[in-house]
Structure 1
Amino acid sequence: MATISIQQEGRALEIEVQGRVVRFHAIWLRDNAWDDQTRSPGNGQKLIRLSDIPVATAIADARLEASVLTLTFVPENKVVEYNLAWLLEHAYDGVPARQKGWIDACLHTWDSAAMAEPPLGCFNAVHASAQALQGWLAGLARFGVAKLANGPVADQALMQVVDLFGYVRETNYGRHFEVRSEVNPTSLAFTRQGLQAHTDNPYRDPVPTLQVLYCLENSVEGGDSLVVDGFRAAQCLRDESPAAFDLLSRYCACFEYRGAQGVILRARRPMIELDPDGRLIAVRFNNRSATAIAEVPYGEMEAYYAAYRRFGEIIDDPAMAVRFRLEPGECFIVDNTRVMHARTAFSGTGMRWFQGCYADKDSLLSRLATLQETLGDA
């Protein structure tokens, strides 16, 4: 049973439900009204500006019947109904203080002990079944990485993967790129060398937020794929040395790429990126693309480099990596703002031929949200 009371001469409302007390300001309540004069019934977008709401907005009357809260605002004399559950879900009173570097509860961080293999989907199943697609996308969103198996061994089959949820992010590499050894490579990715775990394209702003790597041939010795959860690595650094975590999140690193003629890409972003409220939102780590760091004061540069070195050591720890081998017709996707990928060196007379492309996470999350709304949570 809930009780309500008007507070601060109408400038606030207090709701008590099962011992929980939350308060809402009148201006917040009025701004978040869902009547068809305030928001479009079709898409939920606001039809008014904040300046259309009187500065002196107050609550003149409040009534609660079952789960419906009805408020009357003055000086507009406007009556608005609210769903009580929606209000409690969006309550901002009493939000607990969070540790710097906190992570959304819907995300699960991992290392090799916590995740033996990325979430796996079947190519045909996720194309044929909305439930299978929802489960696979949910795993990708939760863990930042997922695999698909039993796909076609065909040129640009990876486009069919992106079509499941969104759109290709075209870059100077084209709509897709070939990952195989070359005589004069424009990137170390196109050699037989092993690659340290890294996020792709840190020299772009905004960075592509998803990367797809699709196997068409893998008959070499070696060339295994590895993935590392950058959020778990950042947590480890924070727990071990809050000062080191602070340095890598407070100062920008600098990244640059000079490839084919006419391409010079630069970006400056922290290696560990936080929201203004301290939420961990991205990791950028790519030693190959790092350029001279000139954003750190002289007095803190040595400590910054020590933090940088330690972060790299955590990332390189074999216990952090999940290792697997892709066979033709298999692919994996990583959240490129979070999960780093790597490969072991390869040799022999065979061929390792992958195709890759970029996409963006907003479309994936949109597709997942619509599936969850239709089918319920996975």
Structure 2
Amino acid sequence: MTLADLSLPNYLGRLTGSMLHDAMEAGDGFATFDCDSEEAFLQAAQEYGVVLPHRDADARGITYLRNTPGLGRDRGIGFTRETLRPHTDRPAIKTPPRVLLLWCRSASTDGGDATVLRGTDVVARLKEIDPQALAAFCEPDAAIFRTGTDEMVSPVFRMHDGVLQEVRLRYDPYVYFAVDAAHALPALERALKEAEQAFPLSPGKGYALRNDLWFHGRRAYSGGREMLRIMIGGKHATDR
């Protein structure tokens, strides 16, 4: 294990399907890892679960997240060098990806730290800061998420008997917050900032997380940073 490995939170070593299963099902839903190649990255994902297609992905389900000016007006923040605020992926669909895998193929010159936030930590901090704000984000109609033809009216934090069941969040022009939630956004921003874990990723390193329980993002960067992303819908039926 190298010093770079020791700086990674929840580091579990080499990426495999079985490691993913243990981290996502028995662990807390977040792990960092190392991986030798794009092929090994895809193989581990396929061993663990069902890889989901995405409009920005190739035929295998891999999306290459890098600065891509040629996309024009349709370019999302993920394809720029700007800060990517804490979010979950695909909140506008009824059943978002359950697990996300991100792997660094080339690092930034400066900046670009990955950021992750445990949903339960954000809820706990928001409850301390402003309980009414937390209640607003737990309302069934707290937010409307829209992407293309997809639309989902949902709480940001879905709770049951005081236990967090799911998080959904995204900041873009097609997300609308209910009045009380909109007024509570400064408190949410503070809770997100105070719950954030940030860490750099060198080439060959990556992380996996439960998209229903964790938020993730990225600091602004310079240089040729490139991350590969795979979305997984769920475990294979034989693992259930």
Pick the aligned partner of 2:42 from 150, 159, 162. Answer: 159
* RMSD (CA atoms): 2.5
1:161 aligned counterpart, secondary structure: helix
Distance 2:186 2:237 in 1: 34
Distance 1:341 1:279 in 2: 20
Name the structure 1 match of 2:4. Answer: none
**Superposed counterparts of 1:189-208, under 5 Å:** 189-208=78-97
**Superposed counterparts of 1:180-191, under 5 Å:** 180-185=66-71, 186-191=75-80
What displacement does 1:365 show?
10
Name the structure 2 match of 1:270. Answer: 155
Distance 2:237 2:87 in 1: 23
Whether 2:63 is the aligned partner of 1:177: answer yes
What displacement does 1:152 show?
1.6
Deviation string, structure 1 residues 50-71 (Cα, Å, up to 9, x no partner): xxxxxxxxxxxxxxxxxxxxxx
What displacement does 1:137 show?
4.0
Change (3 A) 1:236 1:144: same
TM-score norm. by structure 1 comes to 0.54
Name the structure 2 match of 1:332. Answer: 207
Change (3 A) 1:164 1:327: farther
Contact 1:169 1:358 in 2 (8 A): yes
Pick the aligned partner of 1:351 from 203, 220, 224. Answer: 224
2:235 aligned counterpart, secondary structure: helix
Pick the aligned partner of 1:217 from 93, 96, 106. Answer: 106
Contact 2:129 2:187 in 1 (8 A): no
1:215 aligned counterpart, secondary structure: strand
What displacement does 1:355 show?
1.0
Contact 2:88 2:169 in 1 (8 A): yes
Name the structure 2 match of 1:11. Answer: none
Whether 2:170 is the aligned partner of 1:283: answer no
What displacement does 1:121 show?
2.1
Contact 1:255 1:267 in 2 (8 A): yes
2:9 aligned counterpart, secondary structure: coil
Distance 2:125 2:88 in 1: 18
Contact 1:231 1:283 in 2 (8 A): no
1:315 aligned counterpart, secondary structure: helix
Name the structure 2 match of 1:122. Answer: 13
Whether 2:189 is the aligned partner of 1:312: answer yes
Identity of aligned residues (%): 21
Greater radius of gyration (CA)? 1
Deviation string, structure 1 residues 69-127 (Cα, Å, up to 9, x no partner): xxxxxxxxxxxxxxxxxxxxxxxxxxxxxxxxxxxxxxxxxxxxxxx743212227x46
The one-letter amino acid paired with 1:171 is: H
Misfit runs of 4+, over 6 Å: none
Contact 1:119 1:139 in 2 (8 A): no
Distance 2:91 2:126 in 1: 20
Name the structure 1 match of 2:146. Answer: 256
Change (3 A) 1:332 1:163: same
Q: Which runs of 5+ in 2 are unaligned?
A: 1-6
